[in-house]
Structure 1
Amino acid sequence: MLLKSIRLGSNDLAKSRAFYDATFGVLDVAECATPEQYPIVMWDLGGMKFLLGPARDGQPCTFANGGTIIFEAPSEEAVKAWHAAGLANGGTSEGKPEAKPQARGAFGAYLRDPDGNKLGVYCGLQIG
């Protein structure tokens, strides 16, 4: 089975676009090309789509308790740049860039996006 997309909720697409353009940009992902009048924003992560938009039921979006989306970075410097870009664009730190004991010493960092979704980025993370 192949994962085709991940969609998170956003209560402010302009803030989400700025946050993800900045954090994905340091990981060599192209800026969001979704026209501003669309009700979602979307990035191509090399065959998988990452989307944000309002809740379909019209209620405010909330984040998952215990949910984290992890991205791969090419270097420790990229992890640091990702974290800094997120803080500069409305994110909050959930774990500074450092070797993480829970990930067998892989270098990583965590942020919450402007809507509270928890994200991580790692260099050297081995799954399995």
Structure 2
Amino acid sequence: MAVFTHITVGTNHLENARSFYDRVLGEIGLKRVADLNDNGSIWGQESPSFFVLKPANGQAATVGNGVTVSFEAPDRKSIDAFYKSALAAGGKCEGPAGPRGWAPNAYAAYVRDLDGNKLAVYCFKAE
């Protein structure tokens, strides 16, 4: 059993978010699996797992201070590609791709998406 069924982040600019996530999530093997008309889109591998939506209450999307959505990457090369793609697509660096000393073989990158949501991508495999 998985711990989560899905993770959702909000957006105020859906088309820009779709373009950003198509690009960066493709680097780690995820693809857009559904569009919810003008409300959002869903990415995943075999099942929907990451949603980008306009808030249901009609208010502006805001980011959570202290919240990070972290994706698992197949290898370090895909983390490097994710990081470079995110920056090229307008994302902001929150920690460049590289080793993380808190766990053996931890390699990660941190970015903020176009709406300010903090994202990480991790791999725990040795080089």
Per the alignment, residue 28 of structure 2 pairs with 27
Per the TM alignment, residue 83 of structure 1 is displaced from its structure 2 partner at its CA by 0.4
- Aligned residue for 1:115, secondary structure, equals coil
How big is each residue's C-alpha offset from its partner over 1:53-100, in whole Å with a ceiling of 9 and x where there is no partner? 111222211111001111111111111000011111121110000101
| Structure 1, unpaired ranges of 5+ | none
Contact 1:15 1:90 in 2 (8 A): no
Per the TM alignment, residue 103 of structure 1 is displaced from its structure 2 partner at its CA by 3.8
| Pair 1:112 & 2:112 matched | yes
RMSD over aligned CA atoms reads 1.8
Per the alignment, residue 44 of structure 2 pairs with 44
Per the TM alignment, residue 17 of structure 1 is displaced from its structure 2 partner at its CA by 0.6
Q: Which structure has the highest strand share of the two?
A: 2
Contact 2:73 2:123 in 1 (8 A): yes
How big is each residue's C-alpha offset from its partner over 1:12-65, in whole Å with a ceiling of 9 and x where there is no partner? 111111111111111111235426x33111112443421111112222111110
Per the TM alignment, residue 104 of structure 1 is displaced from its structure 2 partner at its CA by 4.2
What amino acid maps onto 2:6 in structure 1?
A: S
TM-score (norm 1): 0.86
4+ long deviations beyond 6 Å: none
Whole-angstrom CA distance in 2 between matches of 1:30 and 1:90: 19
Whole-angstrom CA distance in 1 between matches of 2:33 and 2:19: 9
Per the alignment, residue 87 of structure 1 pairs with 87
Per the alignment, residue 78 of structure 2 pairs with 78
Whole-angstrom CA distance in 1 between matches of 2:31 and 2:57: 30
Whole-angstrom CA distance in 2 between matches of 1:4 and 1:45: 13
The percentage of counterpart residues that share the same residue type is: 35
| Structure 2, unpaired ranges of 5+ | none
Contact 2:35 2:42 in 1 (8 A): yes
Distance 1:57 1:85, change over 3 A: same
How many equivalent pairs are there? 124
Whole-angstrom CA distance in 2 between matches of 1:67 and 1:14: 23
Greater alpha carbon shift after TM alignment, 104-113 vs 45-54: 45-54
Q: 1:53-72 maps to which residues of 2 (within 5 A)?
A: 53-72=53-72
